[in-house]
């Protein structure tokens, strides 16, 4: 029978696992005997290489060796999170503006040139997933089709959809897209083998992403209370800081680092980082013309270089706690996962934040996410033999939305349809009407964020629907936002009068990690700020409704004189708000004045 597997598709390393017949979880080994495989793809003249073989080509053929592709998923080519890092391979923009990678495999002298090829991030990720699937098939000895794939908790809809697409491109039946810390919490709860409810904080610092989730666990049930994180912070960023430090040190000594020497230095920085987890000092070496040019770094210097990034993770921990509406004392267990959680300063800061509470390392940090995904895969797969599987259908998960979702309404107002930290799968419906006379089409922006003003949030897509030309407020469109079990959003709109329907899925995103963190910290998680935003929304809605009331009245009066007065009132009020930033008090007062003037005009 085919097996179900869990795959942790990581930024720097990937890992796969499956459940054995004795209900234990086994982590798949690659051809080198390692349980984690570099998330690297090399494009050669004849074939592609994945994993260690591809990693080895980063030094000799960097232009055709793609790494950190997870950071490109669901992003545009001009995204600041892509452009702020130097990559040796060529990054292009598709016609839609999405990021793509172009490679031109090298050829030997005298041989026919190979054409350049362009790949989207989903394709390159699918090669990694395919490789992990093949490794699993070789180890298990039977076919593998069903899989659960993990993503960072703060991945948006476009990134989740891109990951699901990559899995399907790899030939996998993607059972579920699950958040990485949720998977780790499931693995931890499964290992406890206890039916007692425990509130667990999962601190997941990997090679390229950071997530923190607060989860209520009870056996095979995991109820996510909140999540926070940064999709562009991890071990690779610490390596980059060490690379910049050592480059500056060597340059001061008159040593120039050539492009072909950069990867060797980068690898030495990665090794130095690992050494500093067990030693107070480490050496970073650059091999030039067969000779070693070295510089030394201390653990304290390394901690100073990275302290801002470390502090960002603690800020996310605070955000998650506030959003979950729990206090530090009510958290039973603090579970550290992800390879970078081994850094002593990280452990010290987390332990200090919780009053020196004991940290849990029950599962190897590099394997925890894949193990949790494998447990869920076993539970979900219809191909698993029922008599063999003791957990078939037993896993119960309730994850939450990382951001609020909604659409735009008049006067720069964000109408929230699904609020942040709503458990999914979920669906919610709202009714909207036309804001202007004689519209033949209504446009619904698909928006993600926390500000009361839609202009301060991020547009994920658009859904358009034709409508009958009617006076303002007389068209009614039912708008439904649905998030499936994978956290992927679909939008459906229906004209109530004509029955016309349209649907849309989010395909692109322009969010950066800093913007995400800013939205979480400065809007949603601070209760005071949330209250301000809600008040702003209510004030703008009051103003908008007052103006729309006047517009509707225009069509109900037969007096030319009154019509003229009403149109002047509309023109004056729309001119007043245009380009301005009125206070809530001014908006409410203005709305009240509009109603009074409307009453006066319409008096017999």
**HEC profile of 175-190:** EEEEEHHHHHHHHHHH
8 is an active site residue: yes
pLDDT of residue 403: 83
pLDDT of residue 40: 96
pLDDT of residue 527: 41
pLDDT of residue 282: 93
pTM: 0.76
304 is an active site residue: no
Task: Pull the structure tokens for residue 354.
Answer: 């919780």
Tokens 């798949």: give the residue.
28
Closest to 377 measured CA to CA, from 3, 43, 6, 2: 6
204 is an active site residue: yes
- Beta-carbon contacts of residue 265 (< 8 Å; ≥ 6 apart): 243, 246, 247, 257, 284, 285, 286
> What is the enclosing helix (H) or strand (E) of 58?
helix 57-60
Residue 97 near residue 508, CB atoms below 8 Å: yes
Tokens 């076993």: give the residue.
378
Using CB atoms within 10 Å of the CB of residue 104, give its burial: 0 to 12 exposed, 13 to 18 middle, 19+ buried: middle
pLDDT of residue 580: 75
Cα distance between residue 9 and residue 132, in whole Å: 9
pLDDT of residue 520: 37
Phi, psi for 170 (deg, rounded to 5): -80, 0
Closest to 356 measured CA to CA, from 325, 390, 328: 328
Closest to 156 measured CA to CA, from 67, 76, 90: 76
Q: What's the residue count for the chain?
A: 604
Residue 478 near residue 407, CB atoms below 8 Å: no
pLDDT of residue 529: 44
- Angle between helix axes 262-275 and 235-252 (nearest 10 degrees) is 120
Using CB atoms within 10 Å of the CB of residue 242, give its burial: 0 to 12 exposed, 13 to 18 middle, 19+ buried: buried
pLDDT of residue 273: 93
Task: Pull the structure tokens for residue 321.
Answer: 């706690």
Task: Pull the structure tokens for residue 289.
Answer: 């013309």
Among 49, 204, 399, 448, the active-site one is 204
Q: How would you classify the pairing of strands 396-400 and 221-230?
A: parallel
Task: Pull the structure tokens for residue 482.
Answer: 């649905």
Segments of the chain with pLDDT less than 70: 1-2, 107-114, 193-195, 383-393, 505-534
Cα distance between residue 238 and residue 313, in whole Å: 13
Cα distance between residue 404 and residue 401, in whole Å: 7
Residue 211 near residue 241, CB atoms below 8 Å: no
Count the neighbouring beta carbons within 10 Å of the beta carbon of residue 466: 12
Count the neighbouring beta carbons within 10 Å of the beta carbon of residue 534: 12
Among 8, 122, 236, 239, the active-site one is 8
Among 3, 70, 360, 551, the active-site one is 70
Among 98, 122, 180, 323, the active-site one is 180
The per-residue pLDDT for range 331-349, each reduced to its tens digit, is 999 999 988 999 999 999 9
Cα distance between residue 294 and residue 265, in whole Å: 10
Distances (CA, A) of 272 to 159, 204, 262, 300: 32, 22, 15, 13
Cα distance between residue 542 and residue 388, in whole Å: 61
Closest to 313 measured CA to CA, from 430, 432, 206, 418: 206
pLDDT of residue 55: 92
Q: End-to-end distance of the chain based on CA atoms, in angstroms?
A: 82
- Furthest-apart CA atoms within the chain: distance in Å: 98
- Beta-carbon contacts of residue 408 (< 8 Å; ≥ 6 apart): 414, 415, 444, 445, 447, 454
């Amino acid at each position: 029978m085919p097996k179900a597997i869990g795959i942790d598709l990581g930024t720097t390393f990937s890992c796969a696992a499956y459940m054995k017949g004795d209900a234990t979880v086994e982590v798949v080994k690659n051809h080198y005997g390692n349980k984690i495989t570099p998330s690297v793809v090399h494009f050669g003249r004849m074939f592609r290489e994945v994993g260690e073989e591809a990693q080895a080509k980063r030094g000799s053929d960097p232009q055709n060796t793609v790494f950190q592709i997870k950071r490109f998923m669901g992003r545009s080519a001009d995204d600041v999170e892509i452009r702020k890092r130097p990559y040796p391979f060529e990054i292009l923009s598709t016609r839609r503006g999405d990021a793509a990678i172009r490679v031109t495999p090298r050829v030997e002298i005298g041989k026919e040139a190979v054409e350049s090829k362009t790949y989207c991030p989903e394709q390159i990720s699918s090669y990694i997933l395919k490789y992990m699937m093949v490794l699993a098939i070789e180890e298990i000895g039977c076919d593998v089709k069903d899989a659960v794939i993990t993503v960072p908790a703060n991945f948006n809809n476009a990134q989740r959809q891109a990951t699901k697409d990559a899995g399907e491109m790899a030939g996998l039946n993607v059972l579920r897209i699950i958040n990485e810390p949720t998977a780790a919490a499931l693995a931890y709860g499964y290992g406890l083998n206890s039916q007692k409810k425990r509130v667990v904080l999962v601190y997941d610092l990997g090679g390229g992403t950071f997530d923190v989730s607060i989860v209520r666990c009870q056996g095979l049930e995991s109820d996510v209370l909140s999540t926070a994180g940064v999709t562009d912070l991890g071990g690779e960023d610490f390596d980059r800081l060490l690379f910049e430090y050592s480059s500056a040190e060597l340059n001061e000594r008159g040593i120039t680092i050539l492009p072909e020497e950069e990867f060797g230095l980068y690898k030495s920085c990665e090794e130095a980082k690992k050494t500093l987890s067990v030693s107070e000092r480490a050496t970073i070496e650059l091999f030039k013309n067969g000779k070693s040019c070295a510089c030394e770094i201390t653990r304290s210097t390394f901690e100073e270089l990275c302290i801002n990034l470390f502090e960002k993770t603690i800020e996310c921990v605070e955000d998650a706690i506030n959003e979950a509406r729990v206090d530090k004392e009510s958290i039973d267990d603090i579970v550290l996962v992800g390879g970078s959680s081994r850094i002593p300063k990280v452990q010290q800061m987390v332990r200090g934040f919780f009053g020196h509470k004991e940290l849990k390392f029950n599962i190897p940090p590099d394997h925890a996410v894949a193990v949790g995904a494998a447990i869920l895969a076993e539970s979900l797969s219809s191909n698993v033999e029922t008599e063999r599987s003791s957990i078939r259908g037993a896993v119960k998960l309730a994850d939450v939305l990382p951001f609020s979702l909604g659409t735009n309404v008049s006067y720069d107002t964000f109408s929230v349809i699904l609020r942040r930290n709503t458990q999914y799968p979920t669906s919610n419906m709202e009714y909207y009407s036309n804001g202007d006379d004689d519209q033949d089409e209504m446009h619904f922006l698909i928006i993600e964020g926390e500000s009361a003003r839609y202009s301060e949030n991020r547009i994920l897509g658009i859904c358009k629907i034709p409508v009958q030309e009617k006076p303002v407020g007389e068209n009614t469109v039912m708008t439904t936002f649905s998030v499936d079990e994978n956290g992927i959003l679909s939008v459906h709109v229906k004209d109530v009068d004509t029955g016309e329907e349209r649907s849309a899925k989010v395909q692109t995103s322009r969010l950066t990690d800093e913007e995400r963190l800013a939205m979480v910290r400065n809007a949603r998680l601070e209760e005071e700020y949330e209250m301000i935003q809600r008040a702003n929304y209510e004030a703008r809605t009051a103003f908008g409704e007052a103006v729309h009331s006047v517009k509707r009245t225009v069509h109900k009066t037969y007096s030319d004189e009154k019509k003229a007065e009403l149109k002047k009132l509309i023109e004056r009020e729309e001119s007043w708000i245009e380009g301005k930033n009125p206070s809530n008090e001014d908006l409410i007062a203005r709305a009240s004045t509009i109603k009074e003037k409307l009453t006066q005009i319409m008096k017999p």
